């Protein structure tokens, strides 16, 4: 429980033995103001001598306290002085009604000593008390800091620390990370958590404590900082009667303990990601891991030993052109890994991730409990979300997805298949990211380094290719579009943005060059394959 007996107030001072001859003349509403120091003042030039929250002792020499002139009193109020104590004597006899009205309005206590007192005795008494109370405060802070540290080493430490903080301050508290993950206490303070979360965009960049008004509530915001980085913010409801200076001191200890938890979690996560990265890179380079070994290395569920399937997703990136420093890259790398893991996990996938500047590789495991179509649709939905979230950070990006595989010894092949899909998308040969949708291009990959494929292309469409090169024409494009439109001249002309008469002339020239009936089934099939093979070979050299 929060103790306040270390705070010295004007009311406390009036009960001291040194104030037995004192009488309150005005400003009763300010009796609970805190006194941080006692100061003897006998000069009218005091602006630079005061910091605020002082108890002022004076005989009134040179201050004109005995007159209705408000100037000195207004200056003291403006400097946030806690109270004014005047010795009755040659320089002060009584308080005018105007000054009393001013003091009452601003809750500024004015105290008079009816008898001569020793200011040195009063300052010694009050300073000793203030120093002792300050020591008590430090002892309390050290005690609560130790409790916070101990709780930070337990399971679910952040929530336990907030529980301790809430019970200690008797207030609603919450902690929200920069990723907007939040913890709050007590449990019934959900509305407080929702209110702060909905306004987090206003405070997520704050690097020092500040009181904000959110939906008419005063909220003290304190950043949790570790290694020079803001990890999140502690939020506490406060009111005008609170000792916010002490609350800030408590929050400083609390924020440090939470920062330690987040730093440890980050270290563990980085270690896990580095291990995953090594495994993924080894797999795509050809190392074979038995599923039992992968389960041990990556903490896969036991049921994966008997029943699993996976796809490999490759996201091609160019972070090397957009990231300027190693620190920036390490931070982005961790954020990407965590967000990727979170999104796939939310859809019951188990991702193993490698994030490099030129590509992201995700081996996405799932249990065999859904159809290939359902798996495909769900995986595409998640991958598109991830891709859209990072594509704005890149100049050039593309992703490909392998077929569904049930043998981890084929991890290298699945990586290669995803890369092939990217290659075909880059040259606009296909639009689907899935390798299983590449159709006849699968055969082209098997023949890409053999002369038979080039010979086949030359046999069926060679004359067209040569004619286009020599004349800058578009006969091959015309033929491809015509066949895609199933021989509809009207539709082909519209897609090519030419009049039908121009299309007729082009088709006549194509017939002359190829000497074949284009729509005869055997010829048409061969020509369509030859056109796809030509564009495939062309993509290799681009």
DSSP 442-502: HHHHHHTTSHHHHHHHHHHHHHHHHHHHHH---HHHHHHHHHHTTT-HHHHHHHHT--HHH
Token duo for residue 253: 């200890």
pLDDT for res 335: 82
Other Cβ atoms closer than 10 A to 491: 14
- Domains along the sequence of the chain with CATH: 10-128 (3.40.1390.20), 153-264 (3.30.450.40), 285-438 (3.30.70.270), 445-540 (1.10.10.2840)
Spatial CA neighbour of 108 closest among 144, 143, 84: 84
Torsions phi, psi for 35 (to 5 deg): -110, 120
Contact 67, 36 (CB under 8 A): no
Spatial CA neighbour of 408 closest among 538, 291, 244, 253: 291
Question: What pTM was estimated for this model as a whole?
Answer: 0.58
Give the length of the chain. 542
Q: How far apart are CA 286 and CA 295, in angstroms?
A: 18
Strands 54-58 and 83-87: parallel
Per-residue pLDDT of the chain (542 residues; tens, 9 = 90+): 455 557 889 999 999 999 999 999 999 999 989 899 999 988 877 878 888 889 999 988 877 777 777 888 889 999 999 999 999 888 888 888 888 999 999 999 999 998 888 999 999 999 999 898 888 888 888 999 999 999 999 999 999 999 999 998 888 999 988 777 888 888 888 888 888 888 877 776 778 888 888 888 888 888 888 777 788 899 988 876 666 788 889 999 999 999 999 888 888 888 888 888 888 898 888 888 777 777 777 776 666 666 778 899 999 888 887 777 888 888 888 888 888 888 888 888 888 899 988 899 999 988 767 788 888 888 888 888 888 877 776 667 788 999 988 888 888 999 999 998 888 888 777 788 998 888 777 777 777 666 777 888 888 888 898 998 999 999 989 988 888 888 888 998 899 899 989 989 998 888 888 876 777 888 888 888 888 888 877 776 65
pLDDT for res 1: 46
Please, what is the Cα angle at 281 between 280 and 286, to 5 degrees? 100
3 state SS for 145-204: HHHHHHHHCCCCHHHHHHHHHHHHHCCCEEEEECCCCEEEECHHHHHHHHHHHHCHHHCC
Please name the residue ranges forming H helices in 19-85.
71-78
Q: How far apart are CA 285 and CA 287, in angstroms?
A: 6
Spatial CA neighbour of 480 closest among 541, 524, 445: 524
Strands 37-40 and 309-316: unpaired
Strands 217-226 and 210-214: antiparallel
Q: How far apart are CA 334 and CA 266, in angstroms?
A: 9
pLDDT for res 457: 83
């Amino acid at each position: 429980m929060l103790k306040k007996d270390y705070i010295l107030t004007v009311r406390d001072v009036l009960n001291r033995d040194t104030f037995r001859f004192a009488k309150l003349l005005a400003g009763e509403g300010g009796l609970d103001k805190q006194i941080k120091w006692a100061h003897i003042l006998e000069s009218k030039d005091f602006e630079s001598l005061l910091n605020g929250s002082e108890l002022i002792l004076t005989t009134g020499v040179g201050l004109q306290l005995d007159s209705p002139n408000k100037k000195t009193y207004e200056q003291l109020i403006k400097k946030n002085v806690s109270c004014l104590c005047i010795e009755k004597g040659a320089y002060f006899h009584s308080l005018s009604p105007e000054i009393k009205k001013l003091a009452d309005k601003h809750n500024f206590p004015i105290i008079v000593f009816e008898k001569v007192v020793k200011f040195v005795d009063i300052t010694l008494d009050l300073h000793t008390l203030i120093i002792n109370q300050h020591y008590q405060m430090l002892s309390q802070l050290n005690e609560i800091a130790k409790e916070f540290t101990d709780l930070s080493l337990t399971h679910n430490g952040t929530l336990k620390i907030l529980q301790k903080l809430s019970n200690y301050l008797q207030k609603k508290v919450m902690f929200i990370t920069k990723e907007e993950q939040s913890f709050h206490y007590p449990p019934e303070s959900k509305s407080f958590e929702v209110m702060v979360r909905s306004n987090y965009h206003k405070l997520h960049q704050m690097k020092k404590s500040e009181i904000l008004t959110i939906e008419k509530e005063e909220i003290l915001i304190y950043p949790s900082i570790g290694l020079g980085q803001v990890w999140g913010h502690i939020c506490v409801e406060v009111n005008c009667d609170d000792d916010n200076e002490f609350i800030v001191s408590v929050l400083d200890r609390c924020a440090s303990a939470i920062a330690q938890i987040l730093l440890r979690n980050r270290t563990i996560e980085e270690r896990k990601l580095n291990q995953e990265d090594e495994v993924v890179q080894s797999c795509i380079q050809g190392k074979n891991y038995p599923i039992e070994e992968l389960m041990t290395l990556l903490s896969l569920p036991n049921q994966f030993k008997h029943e699993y399937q996976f796809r490999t997703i490759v996201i091609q990136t160019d972070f090397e052109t957009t990231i300027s420093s190693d620190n920036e890259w390490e931070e982005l790398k961790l954020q990407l890994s965590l967000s990727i893991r979170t999104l796939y996990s939310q859809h019951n996938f188990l991702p193993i991730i490698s994030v490099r500047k030129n590509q992201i590789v995700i081996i996405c495991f799932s249990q065999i409990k859904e159809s290939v179509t359902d798996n495909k649709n769900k995986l595409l939905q998640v991958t598109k979300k991830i891709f859209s979230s990072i594509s704005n950070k890149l100049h050039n990006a593309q992703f490909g997805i392998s077929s569904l595989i049930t043998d981890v010894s084929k991890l290298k092949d699945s990586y290669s298949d995803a890369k092939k899909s990217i290659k075909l998308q880059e040259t606009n040969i296909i639009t689907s990211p899935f390798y299983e949708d590449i159709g006849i291009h699968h055969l082209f990959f098997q023949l890409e380094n053999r002369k038979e494929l080039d010979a086949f292309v030359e046999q069926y469409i060679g004359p067209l290719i040569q004619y286009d090169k020599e004349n800058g024409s578009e006969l091959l494009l015309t033929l491809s579009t015509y066949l895609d439109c199933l021989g509809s001249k009207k539709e082909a002309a519209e897609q090519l943005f030419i009049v039908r008469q121009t299309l007729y002339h082009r088709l006549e020239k194509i017939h002359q060059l190829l000497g074949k009936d284009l729509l005869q089934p055997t010829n048409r099939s061969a020509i369509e394959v030859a056109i796809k093979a030509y564009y495939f070979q062309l993509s290799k050299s681009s």
